[in-house]
Amino acid sequence: MIFSKETICLDLNAQNKEDVIERLCRKFKDAGNLIAQTDVLNDFVNSVHQRENISSTALGLEFAIPHGKSSAVKEPGVAFARLTHPVSWDDDEEVRFIFLVGVPESGAGNNEHLHILSKLSGAIMEDDFREQLEKAASAAEVFAIFEKYTSN
């Protein structure tokens, strides 16, 4: 499963972009999306930061989609956080909604992130999608919203 209720953080009180990325990567690991070896969490976190250093993943509308390819990733997946207050994502962008995407570094699924990013970006452009994420009261609601707007 690309997205699960276990990878959803509602009303996360994060201090900064690095805190958000670290905590979502941990959710990703806890959901079983990383291989079972030591230091895989650090490998995955580093891959996301390396990608972020190339260019910001903030999209506007208070959304960001940080992502990373890593040998630590077992299968493609997505984690989500809705923050209690916006954090600075880059010099002039505040973010409150974050979808973290992780994919294996190599293999058949290594371009899966392009498909995932495309689906998420399209959904984020929908007013109803953003409004529903803002109002969602549970991980189950977020999961249903995600499924509705990104299936097929």
Q: Which two tokens stand for residue 118?
A: 């495309």
Helix, strand, coil % over all residues of the chain, rounded to 5? 40, 30, 30
Residue identified by tokens 């260019």 is 55
Task: Using the CB atoms, write b or e for 1-35: b if 16+ within 10 Å.
Answer: ebbbeebbbbebebeebeebbbbbbbbbbebebbb
Residue identified by tokens 């990878």 is 7
Distances in Å between the Cα of 60 and the Cα atoms of 8, 93, 103, 152 are: 21, 7, 23, 25
**Active-site annotation holds for 115:** no
Write down the catalytic residue from 49, 67, 85, 113.
Answer: 67
- Distance (Å, whole) CA 149 – CA 125: 11
Active site residues: 67
